[in-house]
Amino acid sequence: MFRLVVNGQPREVAADPETPLLYVLRNDLGLTGTKFGCGLGQCGACTVLVDGQPMRSCMLPVQAVAGQAVTTIEGLGSPERPHPLQAALIEEQAVQCGYCTPGIVMAAKAILDRTPRPTEAQLKQALNEVLCRCGTHDRVVRAVLRVAATMGGR
C-alpha cells in the first residue's frame, strides 16, 4: 500500500512497488489525462510534477514517490477553470490530436516555474524535452510566451 498526495488529495493505492506511477494514475486513480507515449522517458507525454519537479511517470516506480505530492494535468485546471497555460492553449487553439498536449502543458508549467520569462529560443530549447507529431509547435510556443508575458509564469 502506498500513500500519495495527488492533486492535493491523499490517495492510497495497492500496487507492485515497481509499477510505474503512470499506470497507477491512469488505472488505479482514473486520471487518464497523463499519457503513455514511449515508456522510455524520451517523449514526455507522461510528464507530471512530483514536488514541483517535472518527472516522466512512465519510468518512475510508484514506491519512489510514496508520500510525495504529485500534480497531474487534471490538477492544473479544468475546462471550466483552466490554468493560464491551458487557457492560452485554448486561446491559440494549439492542439491537433492532443495526445501529447498534457505532457507539453506539464513541461511548460515546469519551465515557467524555473524561468518565468524565457526568450523564445530558451523556451524552444526547453520544450525539446517533449515531442509533438502533429506540428503544433508554433502555436504552443506562442501560447506559452503569452503566459510568460502576462504573468511571469505564475
Give the binding site for other proteins (CB under 8 A). 15-16, 18-20, 23, 26-28, 30-40, 42-43, 45, 72-74, 76-80, 82, 86, 89-90, 93, 95-102, 105, 121, 123-125, 127-128, 130-141
Q: Which is nearer to other proteins, 17 or 52 (CB)?
A: 17
Cβ neighbors of 73 (< 8 A, separation 6 or more) are: 33, 34, 48, 102, 105, 106
Least Å distance between CB 153 and other proteins? 17
* Grid coordinates of 100: 501529447
How far does Cα 14 stand from its chain's mean position?
A: 24
Distance CA 79, CA 66 (A): 29
Least Å distance between CB 120 and other proteins? 9
Q: Which is nearer to other proteins, 48 or 153 (CB)?
A: 48
Q: Is the Cβ–Cβ distance between 49 and 70 less than 8 Å? A: yes
* Grid coordinates of 107: 513541461
Least Å distance between CB 118 and other proteins? 12
Q: Which is nearer to other proteins, 109 or 153 (CB)?
A: 109
